[in-house]
Amino acid sequence: MKLYHLFLASLLLATLLSPVLFAKPCAAAFIPGNNITLERNGITWDYDEKTTDNEAVLFRRIIDAETGNNDGFVNAWEIRKMEVLLGEKMKKAVEEEPDIKLNSTSEIVELKDIEFWIPEEALGRTYKNSSIINRASVIYGFKEEAGTGTEIWLMGTPDSYVTITLPSGFDAERIEGLNNKSLGFENKRTVLKGNFNSEKNITLWLSENESFKAELQDIEANENKSAENESGTVENSTLNTGDKSESGSLKGFFKKILKKAG
């Protein structure tokens, strides 16, 4: 997800407001972050943006002017309406310019859901310059499952931090566009960390995790062995039961004969 969609959506709303909002220089921080979880059938992209100082003041004023009554105060209802409005703008932006491709096409990627959250820190007077951390989650589905050799292309904010969790049982055979790359494992899954490069694109190619593959083969072999052992136990039990039944019926047969002979 191009994280700056969030802030740009906010700034687009600002064009509806008085130019006085832009009278002062924007000496502020805009710090984006991304957490991407890949599955074979889709992607969940969670991201956040931190705005401070003048940008935080600007964002509060936008909420008050666009979804409130421009009284210099942001309330909970105005925040909720702004969440819906920004969610709609984000959806439109993603549909117009897809930020995920599989094997060089976005045709097999479906946008499933978007949620946007503005924190309670945005409440109160619009002149407050305390930081605001907005969060959003975008869910995509794949019309075709990703697997070994699949190329995944991601477009994000240049230089923004990103964590990418690969599908269970997969590694990245090759990675392009991920700066300051580090590799780790969490919950038996490969995790990549780093930053989008200045070109703002990351491309990776999936490969099967050999250790995971070996583990699955061991599990399968053990299951087959257990099944064979259980089969042998059942067979022996059946034979033993048959012997006992035959012996019992013979005794009964002789008992009858003895009774008749008596």
216 and 114 within one domain: no
pTM for the model: 0.73
140 and 56 within one domain: yes
Provide the domain count of the chain: 2
pLDDT in tens, 198-236: 888 999 999 998 765 555 555 666 666 666 677 666 556
Token match 């969609």: residue?
5
Domain containing 219: what range?
210-262
261 and 143 within one domain: no
Pick the range with the lowest mean pLDDT from 3-7, 181-185, 231-235: 3-7
The Cα 93–Cα 116 span in angstroms is 14
Pick the range with the lowest mean pLDDT from 80-89, 201-210, 232-241: 232-241
Question: What's the Rg (C-alpha) of the chain?
Answer: 31
259 and 203 within one domain: no
Share of the chain above pLDDT 70, in %: 69
Given a cut of 50, is residue 157 above it in pLDDT? yes
Predicted local confidence at residue 240, as pLDDT: 57
168 and 123 within one domain: yes
Predicted local confidence at residue 242, as pLDDT: 53
100 and 10 within one domain: yes
215 and 195 within one domain: no
The Cα 171–Cα 165 span in angstroms is 10
196 and 223 within one domain: no
218 and 185 within one domain: no
Q: What one-character-per-residue DSSP string does 119-165 give?
A: -GGG-EETT----EEEEEEEEEEESS---TT-EEEEE--TT-EEEEE
pLDDT in tens, 17-63: 434 444 444 444 567 889 999 999 999 999 898 888 988 999 999 99
Predicted local confidence at residue 78, as pLDDT: 97
Chain centre to alpha carbon of residue 40: 11
Residues 6+ apart with CB under 8 A from 95: 111
pLDDT band of 64, cuts 50, 70, 90: very high
List Cα–Cα distances, 10 to 59, 95, 104, in angstroms: 7, 18, 30
Q: Identify the three-state secondary structure at position 205.
A: strand
